[in-house]
Amino acid sequence: MLSEYVALLCCALLLTAYSARNPAFARFPTTALLEVVAPLHAAVDFAQDSSRRIWTSYVALRSVADENQALRARLTELESERNALVEFKVENQRLRGLLELSSVSQLKGVSADVIGDEPSGWGRGILVNRGASHGVGIGMAVVHPRGVVGQVVAVSPNFAHVLLVTDHSSGVDVMTQDSRVRGVIEGIGSDHCELRYVSKETPVRVGDVVITSGMDGVFPKGLPVGSVSKVAVETGTLLQNVEIKASVDFDKLEEVLVVTGVAGQGTRVEEAKTLVKVDTLEKRRE
């Protein structure tokens, strides 16, 4: 055992002495080790860098995905708010139209929302969300800024049934705006009516505007009803076949005004009664 240690010590001394005299021999192991270790070290660094980049990319993508999801949710929320604002604006314009109609025409009434169509399906009618508790009564006229809608035919405490002017059982006393030709319109379905009892000698033209005459005791005078869309004379008759296209688009009807009265109407009636009394007294004196 001792001899082996001595031998190793001698070899070490010889190698040291040889390395001192030959420096290149001493650098050889270091160079060889460097050639072996450097690629391994580079591979480990590359693996670590790749792992770090992958993790960073994953975290960044995860953050972007979360941010994208949050932005999508916010966009949906903003679109919902925008749609609500647009709907409020359109509704405000419609209600403003009813208010202007009431102001210009001096109509006193109750605004109502259309909540459905004729429940029985046999006629042309609508349901509104105002009834007897709101001052609505049977026989009242129902109008829209674009024209006449119809007449209340049934009432409950909170709802009312309105018969449209285009229904077959409807009738409104009207006249043409320019020539002042009077007649009665009756509904013929869809969005059309027929002007009855017009002589073939009466000048009625396509495009003539038709308004209420106020003579039926239901609709105030001067409200638009529609315009003449067709004029024909049937053979063997003395009357014209006059078709009227309603001015109101009933398929897009959302709000209406139920007319409860006309401003100053009572005063005008009393004045008319007074004039009749005065005229009667004067005739008696004569």
Stronger pLDDT, 114 or 59, i.e. the higher one: 114
For residue 254, which of 89, 69, 127 has the smallest C-alpha distance? 127
Mean pLDDT over residues 60-77, rounded?
75
**Is the separation of the CB atoms in 246 and 186 below 8 Å?**
no
Interior CA angle at 138 toward 133 and 143, to 5°?
90
CATH number for the region 106-270 comes to: 2.40.10.340
Model confidence band, residue 56 (pLDDT cutoffs 50, 70, 90):
confident
| Annotated domain spans of the chain | 18-104, 106-270
Q: Dump pLDDT digits (tens) for 148-187.
A: 999 999 999 999 999 999 999 999 999 999 888 889 999 9
- CA dist., res. 282 & res. 286, Å (int): 6
Burial 114-148 (b: 16+ CB within 10 A, else e): beebbeeeebbbbbbebbeebebeeebbbbbbbbb
What pLDDT is recorded for position 248? 93
Query: Measured between alpha carbons, how far is residue 123 from residues 139, 167, 190, 191, 254 in Å?
Result: 17, 6, 11, 13, 19
pLDDT of residue 238: 83
pLDDT over 60 (residue 88): no
- pLDDT at position 86 is 62
Q: pLDDT of 207-228, one tens digit each?
A: 999 999 989 889 988 899 999 9
Please report the pLDDT score of residue 189 as a whole number.
80
Q: Which residue has the higher pLDDT, 272 or 121?
A: 121
**Averaged pLDDT, 13-19:** 56
What is the pLDDT at residue 261? 82
CB–CB of 190/162 below 8 Å? no
What mean pLDDT do residues 50-65 have?
72
Mean pLDDT of the region 267-274: 43
What does the pLDDT read at residue 276?
42
Q: Cite the beta strand spans of 77-223 per DSSP E.
A: 107-117, 125-128, 141-144, 147-155, 160-164, 171-176, 182-187, 192-196, 209-212
pTM of the model: 0.61
pLDDT for residue 252: 87
Share the mean pLDDT of the chain: 76
| % of the chain exceeding 70 in pLDDT | 63
